[in-house]
Amino acid sequence: MIGAPAPEARLALYWAPAYDDPLHRLGSTWLGRDAETGAPQRQPEVAGVDLAELTADPRGYGLHATLKPPFRLAVSWVEAIRAAEALADRTAPFDLPPLAVQDLDGFLALRETAPCPAMHALADACVETLDGCRAPAPEAELARRRRHGLTPRQEALLTRFGYPHVLEEWRFHVTLTRRLSAAEKAVVLPAVVDFLGEAPAMPRRVTELVLFTQAKAGAPFLIAERLPLGGAG
């Protein structure tokens, strides 16, 4: 276990490929940083675009799909880890459907090619079970999220959980770019599909809950813990 983070740090619960999964290596290379080691990765060259700029935002977060969005702690690091460990221990491993690169509201992301109720249930459990560990989101952060325009239900979720895209508003996605123009998408979509190859569609089993931490605002997120799922299937 890493040392307890500073008070300004944030914790997040994510899905991320296993360290030895080819998708971890290829996806980290595409983004330009390995969230497991923190090491920069040499990105592929994509003619006609600045890939480093197109991937700057997701690079900071690391290759992942959000389950419990980043939050500051209202409890000790030990208490938060114990809560996450308890959740992981009672969650059974499950199969993840094949993934594929898709356009998600203008962003390119890896999405499930079929529904995965077990993943959605895990995301819901992460949001609800760990919420007692979450300090209230700062008003400036809430205001920033409201600027994008929220439905009444999203506003209620933002008020309750500090984030509008949880529970029934949640969608599994592994972000690969910022929002792209049509011209950028025409270049980058085939490039990322070709670069990732068969890795997204490989059969894979979800066997761990991955904790990421951010030391301070603007710092990159790093994998802090990989908690094995221990429930009976």
Percentage of the chain modeled with pLDDT above 90: 89
For the chain, domain boundaries:
10-115+172-228
Q: Residue 217: its pLDDT value, please?
A: 86
pTM to 2 decimal places = 0.94
The span from the CA of 215 to the CA of 219, in Å, is 6
Pick left, alpha or beta for residue 100 (phi over 0 → left; psi -120 to 50 → alpha; otherwise beta): beta
Query: Average per-residue pLDDT in the chain?
Result: 94
Statement: residue 6 has pLDDT above 80: no
Among the residue ranges 19-33, 49-63, 91-105, 143-157, the one predicted with the least confidence is 143-157
Tally of CB atoms within 10 A around 167 = 15
CATH for the 10-115+172-228 domain, from 3.40.109.10, 2.40.110.10, 3.90.1140.10, 1.10.287.70: 3.90.1140.10
Q: Please write the tens of the pLDDT for every residue from 160-171.
A: 999 999 999 999
Statement: residue 230 has pLDDT above 60: yes
For residue 232, name the pLDDT band (cuts at 50, 70, 90).
confident
Statement: residue 5 has pLDDT above 80: no
Percentage of the chain modeled with pLDDT above 70: 97
Q: Residue 1: its pLDDT value, please?
A: 42
Pick left, alpha or beta for residue 146 (phi over 0 → left; psi -120 to 50 → alpha; otherwise beta): alpha
What 3 state SS string does the chain have? Answer: CCCCCCCCCEEEEEECCCCCCHHHHHHHHHHCECCCCCCECCCCCCCCCCHHHHCHHHHHHCCCEEEEEEEEECCCHHHHHHHHHHHHHCCCCEEECCEEEEEECCEEEEEECCCCHHHHHHHHHHHHHHHHHECCCCHHHHHHHHCCCCCHHHHHHHHHHCCCCCHHHCCCCEECCCCCCHHHHHHHHHHHHHHHCCCCCCCEEECEEEEEEECCCCCCEEEEEEEECCCCC
Q: Residue 149: its pLDDT value, please?
A: 86
For residue 198, name the pLDDT band (cuts at 50, 70, 90).
very high
Burial of 50 (0-12, 13-18, 19+ CB in 10 A): exposed
